[in-house]
Amino acid sequence: MLPAELLAVQRWKDQVRPKYSKLSQRDVSAAEAVIRLYRESVGAKRGEIREGVAELEDAYGDYRLVRGLAALVERACSFASKAHADPLKVRHALFMEASKRGFPATPEERLALVRDAASKLGLTPMQVEESMYADLDSEEVLESCPSVSPVDLLKQYNLSLTQTLLFSSTEMEFTASGNWQRIFRAVKFHGLMYSAARREGAVHVRLDGPTSLFKLTRRYGTALAKVVPEIMRGKPWRIEAKILRADRLLNFVLESGKHGWLFPDLEPAEEYDSSVEREFAEQFRSLRSGWGVKREPEPVEAGSAIMIPDFAFRFGGRTVYMEVVGFWTREYLKRKVEKLSEVREPFIVAVDEELACERLERLKASNPNVRLLYFKGEIPVREVLACLQPLAEAEVEAQASGLKMAVKKPVATLKELAEAYGVSEEAVRRAASKVETHVLIGEALIEKGLLEEVKRALAEVVKGEVPLPKAVEALKPYGLPDPITTIAALGYRVKWRGLNAENATVSPPLQN
Amino acid sequence: MFVRLSYSKGTIILEGDVSTPYGQWDQRIKAFRAPAYCYRDIVAYLQRSRVPFEDRVLDPPPKPPLNGRVELYPYQEEAFKRWLENGGRGVICIATAGGKTFIGLKAIEALEKSTVIFVPTLALVDQWVERLREKLGLEAGVVGGGRHDVRWVTVCTYDSAYIHAEELGNRFELLIADEVHHLFAPGYSQAAELFAAPYRMGLTSTLYRADMRHMEAPRLIGGVVYEAGHEELAGTYVARYEHRRVYVDLTPEERREYERLWGVYRGYLERHSLQMRGEEDFRKLITLSAFDPEAREAVLARNRALKIALNSEAKMRFLAEKLAESKEKTLIFTLHNSLVYAISRRFLIPAITHKTREEERRLILSKFREGEYRAIVTSQVLDEGLDVPDASRGIILSGTGSPRQLIQRLGRLLRKAEGKVAVLYEVVSRETKDVDFSRKRRRPVEGRVDASG
C-alpha cells in the first residue's frame, strides 16, 4: 500500500486501472537502481538516502514509480538511531544553557554554548552536534536492507498500486478457485459483509460493509484492499470493484488470466491441518466405500450466505458436505444450524460432544438436507458412511435403471464397464441381467457362447474328484478373471483343505 | 407490533414488524438497519408512536464513583444551560482560553452518562485525562497513540475514533467533540455517524471551515447553542493582545533566486494560458504535473520560491534580533518541520512537532511553565486547545493562510495574567507570495451555523 499521491491511474469510459509497471526493461532498470541505492547506503542517514531517491526521480522521469519503489524497499529495511549519547539529554543540556545565557545571535556565540554544554556532558562539540537530533526519522541510519529482485519488487509495487486504488472502493465482487477459508477469515476479520451467489458453476462473492446500505462510502476500502492478496492466492481469480474517485463511480476489473503475470505469484496458504481431520480422511478412504473424499472443497451457498465445509464426499453425481464443529456453545450451534436452513445440498454437521462449552442439548435442524451427527473424541467414520449410504443406494438405483450396456468383449469385468459407462460397479451389477448376450458370474460378464465352451472344457477334465489346479489350468485359454468363482458358479463342488488352492479338489455337479 | 433494537458495527439493527424512520431493509441480514447516529431519533419515534420495543443498543462500561465538582464562570454556566435546554445537543463556540474543557467536564458531572471525548491531538488527550482526574477524580480510558483502554469516560483522538468507530460506537451515551470543526472532515464525520451516543456536545473557538462542511453540524452534533468571541471575553476573562505585522526584505541572493523560480512558474502558466484563482485550480495543476514534466518543473519551482519566501534569512535575522532584545517567554511558529528543526539547531531552542514524543513534549512545556526555558519553536501541534502557560510574545514566521490557524495561534498567547498585553509579530517577506498568505490569514470568519439551522 502506498500514499495516494503515488497512485497513477488510466481511465477509459467508466473503467479505471492503476498504471501498472509492465515489467519493461526500463522499469526493471529503475527498480534495480532503487534497490542498489538502498543496498549501497548501509550506514547512511535516511534523509540522505531520500535525497538520492529524489535524484533517481529526476533521472527516470516517472517520479511516482521511483518513489513508490523506494517506499516499498524502505519499508523492508531496518534503521537505527546512531548517537554518542542520549539525544534527549544532549539537546536539553543545550536548551538549558541557551535559555540561561541568552539565545545565540551569532555563530560564535552558538559555538561557545555548544562547547560548554559538551564539556558538561563529557563529549566533544562535534559529538554534541551529531547527537542533538540523532533520534529524528531523517537522522536514522540504515542498518540492513534485504535483497529482492527488481522484477519481484515491480510485482509487489503493482500489488500495492492495486490496494491503493482499492482504498477508494465502495464495494468489490470476486470469484476464486481456492484458499476459501483464508479469504473468508480475512473478510470477517476486517469487518466486511458479503453476499454470495453461484453463477455458471462459480461462486461470486460481493463484499461491502454494514453502512454501505445507506450511501456510497469508501470506509471499507482499506479492508477490501487487505482481502485482495488472499483472493490472489486462489488462482484463477477475478476481481471487480467500484471505485469512487472525484465524485465519479468507476469500474475496476482484474483477472488472473489476463493480469496475473503482473503480480507476485502467491501460493495458496498451507492451512493448519488438524490431525483429527487428516486421520478421518485416511480412515474414510481405507473403507473403500466407493465415496470419494476431498478436504476443504469449494464453498456452499446457504441463501445469500456462504458455508465453507471441511469435507466433500462424492459418489457418482452426488455430493455431501460435512463441517466438523470444534468448541461450541448452544448459541453458536443454533446460529450455524439456522444459517444452514437454506442449504440445498446434503450437509452433515459433526459435533464433538466433548468440546461442548456448556451442558449439551441436542438440536435438530428443520432443513431435511441437514444432519447433525454427535460424537465423542474421534469423528466416527462408520457413522458418517451410514449417513451417506442411503444416498449412495438411491444413486446406484438411478444409475442402474438408466444404464443400457452393449458388451462387445467376451469377458468384461464390472470395473471395466463401470469406468466405461461412468457409473458405479454396483449399478453395473444390477443392470447386468438386462444384457442378453452375457451372464454375470462373480465380478465379470461372460458371453453365453463362451460359457458353453467353458462348461464343455470342465466336463472333459472334471470326471470325479480332481485337484482344483487341474481344473483351473484347463480354463486358462478362456481368459476368465476369476476361474474358481466361475467353476463354483457352474455347480461344481470345490472342497477346500486349508487356505491354499493347491490342496483343494473339485467334483462334478450333483445330478438331480 | 414489536421492535428489537440492537447495535452492529456502527449501525442499529431493527428486528420486528414495524417500519421506522431511517431504517432500510438489508437483504444480507433480512432485517432493517439504520446508521447509529439516528438512534436517538428512532427511540423518540417509537416512544411517540407508543410502539413497544426492546432496546439492546447501548453497552456502557461500568461507572466509577465521581469525586469533585466543576465550578463554572457565569458565561460558561450560561453556555451549559443553553446546551441542556437544546436537549443535550449542540455546539458551544468560545474563544481560545475561554475554558471550554470545563463545560465538557460539567456535562459529565451533571448527566452522569458514559462519555467519549474526541480530540485532535495526543497532547489534548493528556490534557483531558489530567483535568478529569483533577476535577472529577476520574481515571479516564484512552484510545489512540498506541493505547486502547476503554472506560466509562474515554478520551480518543479523531483518528482512533474513525478507525475504531464500529467497536466503540455503542459504549457511550455522551459524545464530546473538542475542537469540533475537525469532526466535519469527511472521514471524521463518518465516525460521528457510527456512534449511537444520544447526547452530543461540540466545543470550538471557531466552527467555520473553508470547505463549508461545518453546515453538517445540526445533523451530526447539533447546531450552535452559544457563542462568545474575543471581544466579549477580552480583558474580563482573557488577556488582551496586540498584533504587529512586520515586513522584511529577502536578501539580494534570495530575491534573485525567488524571482527566477517564480518566473519559471509564471512562465508555464502564461504559455498554457492557465489562471490560478483558488485551491481548486492549483489542484488541477498538481494533477497535470503527474503527466507533464514541464508542469512538474513549474510546480517544483513555485514550491522552492515559496520556501525561500517563507524561510527567508531575513526572517531568521528578525528572530535573532527579537530574541536578543528581551528575555520574555516566546513562542515561535513556522509552517515546515524542517524550519522548526533548523531554528532549534541554530538558536538552541526546544522544538515541538508532531514527531516529538510524549515525555519530551511534557518536559518542554513544564520547563517553559517554570521559566527554565524561555522559548519554544513549533510547527502545528500547539495550534489547538493546548494550555501553554503565559507566553507573552508570539512570532509567526510562516503560515498556511487559514484564518482559523491565525485565531488559534493568537489564542496560544491569550493566557490571563496580571495586566499583561501579549504581542504577536507576524513576519512577512515583502513583495512575495507570502504577502497573500498574510492577507488570507486576516480574512474574517464567516458562515455561522445556528442551533435552529
Cell reading at B310: 517563507
Q: pLDDT value at position A357? A: 61
Q: Flag whether pLDDT at B422 surpasses 80.
A: no
Q: How far is CA B392 from the centre of its chain?
A: 23
Tell me if A233 sits within 8 A of A296, measured CB to CB.
no
- The reply to whether residue A110 touches residue B346, judged by beta carbons under 8 angstroms, is yes
Cell reading at A222: 482499506
Strand partners, B141: B154
To the nearest whole Å, the CA of A248 is away from the closest chain B CA by: 16
- The reply to whether residue A213 touches residue B320, judged by beta carbons under 8 angstroms, is no
Q: Which residues fall within 8 angstroms of residue A393, CB to CB, at 6 or more apart?
A: none
Nearest-by-Cβ selection for B293 from A61, A97, A191: A61
The arithmetic mean of pLDDT across residues B200-228, rounded, is 88
**Confidence label for B445 from pLDDT (cuts 50, 70 and 90):** very low
Nearest CA in chain A to B329: A99
Going by the DSSP 8-state scheme, the letter that residue B207 receives in this structure is: -
Q: pLDDT value at position A364? A: 67
Q: Which residues fall within 8 angstroms of residue B312, CB to CB, at 6 or more apart?
A: B248, B250, B251, B254, B429
The span from the CA of A159 to the CA of A156, in Å, is 5
What's the CATH code, domain A275-393?
A: 3.40.50
CA dihedral B123, B212, B405, B203 (to 10 degrees): -40
The span from the CA of B3 to the CA of A225, in Å, is 36
Residue B153's nearest CA partner among B220, B237, B62 is B62
Cell reading at A268: 495458496
- The reply to whether residue B347 touches residue A104, judged by beta carbons under 8 angstroms, is yes
CA atoms within 13 A on the CB side of A23: 16
Same fold? B74-233, B240-249+312-441 = yes
Tens digit of pLDDT at every position of chain A (512 positions): 888 889 989 999 999 999 999 999 999 999 999 999 999 999 999 988 998 898 888 778 788 999 999 999 999 999 988 888 899 999 999 999 898 888 898 889 999 999 999 999 999 998 998 899 988 888 899 999 988 999 999 999 999 999 999 999 999 999 998 888 889 889 988 989 888 887 877 888 999 998 888 888 999 999 999 999 999 998 899 999 999 987 889 999 999 999 999 999 887 765 555 677 778 888 888 888 878 888 878 888 887 777 888 888 988 778 899 888 776 677 777 777 777 778 888 888 888 877 666 655 566 667 777 888 888 878 888 888 888 888 888 888 888 888 888 888 888 888 888 888 888 888 888 888 888 889 888 888 898 888 888 888 888 888 888 888 888 888 888 888 888 888 888 888 888 888 787 888 888 888 65
The span from the CA of A101 to the CA of A191, in Å, is 58
Q: How far does chain A reach from its first CA to its final CA, in angstroms?
A: 90
Residue B21 contacts A, CB cutoff 8 Å: no
CATH of B3-56, one of 3.30.300.10, 3.40.1170.30, 3.20.20.140, 3.20.20.70: 3.40.1170.30
To the nearest whole Å, the CA of B361 is away from the closest chain A CA by: 11
Tell me if A131 sits within 8 A of A85, measured CB to CB.
yes
- The reply to whether residue A136 touches residue B33, judged by beta carbons under 8 angstroms, is no
Q: pLDDT value at position B449? A: 43
Give the position of cell 447386468. A432
Cell reading at A481: 478373471
Burial of A398 (0-12, 13-18, 19+ CB in 10 A): middle
- The reply to whether residue A219 touches residue B190, judged by beta carbons under 8 angstroms, is yes
**Confidence label for B285 from pLDDT (cuts 50, 70 and 90):** confident
- The reply to whether residue A96 touches residue B372, judged by beta carbons under 8 angstroms, is yes
Q: pLDDT value at position A203? A: 83
Q: Which residues fall within 8 angstroms of residue A272, CB to CB, at 6 or more apart?
A: none
Chain B residues near residue A110 by CB distance under 8 angstroms: 346-348
Residue B223's nearest CA partner among B249, B206, B243, B201 is B201
Tell me if B368 sits within 8 A of B406, measured CB to CB.
no
Per-residue pLDDT of B143-153, as tens digits, reads 998 899 999 99
Residues of chain B above pLDDT 90, percent: 35
To the nearest whole Å, the CA of A54 is away from the closest chain B CA by: 12
Does the CA dihedral A127-A133-A139-A140 come out positive or negative?
A: positive
Q: pLDDT value at position B416? A: 46
Q: Flag whether pLDDT at B335 surpasses 90.
A: no
Amino acid (one-letter) located at A287:
L
Phi (first) and psi of residue A29, to 5 degrees = -75, -30
Q: Flag whether pLDDT at B425 surpasses 70.
A: yes
The span from the CA of A327 to the CA of A311, in Å, is 18
The arithmetic mean of pLDDT across residues B407-424, rounded, is 58
The span from the CA of B403 to the CA of B286, in Å, is 24
Measuring CA to CA, how many Å separate B88 from each of A85, B63, B111?
54, 20, 9
Nearest CA in chain B to A193: B28
Beta strand spans in B70-114 (E): 89-94
Q: pLDDT value at position B401? A: 43
The span from the CA of A190 to the CA of A392, in Å, is 41
The arithmetic mean of pLDDT across residues B274-279, rounded, is 72
The span from the CA of B220 to the CA of B103, in Å, is 19
Chain B residues near residue A211 by CB distance under 8 angstroms: 9-11, 35, 190, 193-194
The span from the CA of A220 to the CA of B242, in Å, is 48
Q: Flag whether pLDDT at B446 surpasses 50.
A: no
To the nearest whole Å, the CA of A387 is away from the closest chain B CA by: 31
Q: Which residues fall within 8 angstroms of residue B211, CB to CB, at 6 or more apart?
A: none
Tell me if A1 sits within 8 A of A163, measured CB to CB.
yes
Going by the DSSP 8-state scheme, the letter that residue A199 receives in this structure is: E
Best of B159, B303, B348 to mutate (most A CBs within 10 Å, chain A): B348
Phi (first) and psi of residue B68, to 5 degrees = 125, 165
Coil vs helix vs strand at A166: helix
Q: What is A295-333 written as a DSSP string?
A: ES---EEETTEEE--SEEEEETTEEEEEEEE-SB-HHHH
Residue A108 CB neighbours (<10 A) = 9
Residue spans of the domains in chain B: they are 3-56, 74-233, 240-249+312-441, 252-310
Residue B10 contacts A, CB cutoff 8 Å: yes
Of A201-210, B62-71, B207-216, the range with the lowest mean pLDDT is: B207-216
CATH of B240-249+312-441, one of 3.40.190.10, 1.10.3720.10, 3.30.310.50, 3.40.50.300: 3.40.50.300
Q: pLDDT value at position A199? A: 81
Mean pLDDT of chain B: 82
Nearest CA in chain B to A105: B320
Q: Flag whether pLDDT at B88 surpasses 90.
A: yes
Q: pLDDT value at position B170? A: 95
Q: Flag whether pLDDT at B233 surpasses 70.
A: no
Quote the CATH superfamily of domain B74-233. P-loop containing nucleotide triphosphate hydrolases (3.40.50.300)
Quote the CATH superfamily of domain A167-256. Ribosomal protein S10 (3.30.70.600)
pTM above 0.90, yes or no: no
Phi (first) and psi of residue A310, to 5 degrees = -85, -30
Q: pLDDT value at position B232? A: 57
Q: ipTM score of the complex?
A: 0.71
The span from the CA of B124 to the CA of B381, in Å, is 10
Cα radius of gyration (chain A): 37
To the nearest whole Å, the CA of B9 is away from the closest chain A CA by: 7
Of residues B116 and A62, the one with the higher pLDDT is B116
